[in-house]
Homo-oligomer: A and B are copies of this chain.
Amino acid sequence: MLDKDEVKEAIVSVARHIFSRFGFRKTTMDEIAIASRKGKSSIYYYFASKEEIFQAVVEKEAEIFKQELIKATNPNDTPAQKLKTHVLVRMRSMEKLANFYSAIKDDFLGHLDFIEKIRKKYDQEEIQMMESILVEGVENGMFEIDDTSLAAIAIVTALKGMEIPLFWGVEEKDLESRLDHLIHILFHGVMKH
């Protein structure tokens, strides 16, 4: 017999696909069921509601996002290299998510409070990652920062600011050059001279 979790995984994967195309509101349970080759009631055997499926999808996206950041981190890199890699990988991963987020951006999702929770949790984790890079840089004398905690928050916040144009379809070239600028500014504002 197939493991229950595997079935759930499969449903989430199918649902992610449909949510990416039609957003939350326009995606129906019947569509998810049919695409999963199941009856609608069978879907409810695994998930209590449409929101619960959506939550699983969002959590999976967030987890993949985090893993990509971790995977890209080479422990042997200098802190400066780590910082640059982090920024670049972050944007590349975000681009992959852009479809998904632009599909759901018109749905009113304010009533789904788990989204805010997930966002905060992963925010926190990314800030931790960033801070440990900064701390390492300070320790080996490469960076010069008074309050690494505040600096980490500031940098992550700045990076998040750069997501926004992704979802509103700003020209990519413009985006790349902005990214270069940001990296440049980060480095020359942060490197010991």
Q: Does A121 lie at the interface of the complex (its beta carbon under 8 Å from any beta carbon of B)? A: no
Q: Does A26 make an interface contact (CB < 8 A)?
A: yes
Q: Residue of B at shortest CB range from A28? A: B26
CB distance from A30 to the nearest CB of B (A): 12
Question: What separation, in Å, do the CA atoms of A26 and B26 have in the docked complex?
Answer: 7
Q: Is A22 an interface residue (CB 8 A)?
A: yes
Q: Count the A residues whose beta carbon is within 8 Å of the partner chain — how many?
A: 2
CB distance from A126 to the nearest CB of B (A): 32
Within 8 A of B (CB), among A4-31: 22, 26
Q: How far is the CA of A22 from the CA of B28 in the complex (A)?
A: 13
Instruction: Give the residues in chain B near A26, CB-CB below 8 Å.
Output: 22, 26
CA distance A6 to B140 in the complex (A): 68
Residues of B near A22 (CB, < 8 A) are 22, 26
Q: Tell me the bound Cα distance from A22 to B31 in angstroms.
A: 14
Closest Cβ–Cβ distance, residue A34 to chain B (whole Å): 10
> Can you identify 3 A-B contacts, CB atoms within 8 angstroms?
A22-B22, A22-B26, A26-B26
Q: Tell me the chain A residues, 38-93 only, with Cβ under 8 Å from chain B.
A: none
Could you give, for residues 86-123 of chain A, a 1 whenever the CB lies within 8 Å of some chain B CB and a 0 otherwise?
00000000000000000000000000000000000000
- Nearest chain B CB to A104's CB is how many angstroms away? 13
Residue of B nearest to A25 (CB): B26
Complex-state Cα separation, A167 to B26, whole angstroms: 22
Compute how far the CA of A159 lies from the CA of B26 in the bound complex, rounded to whole angstroms: 35
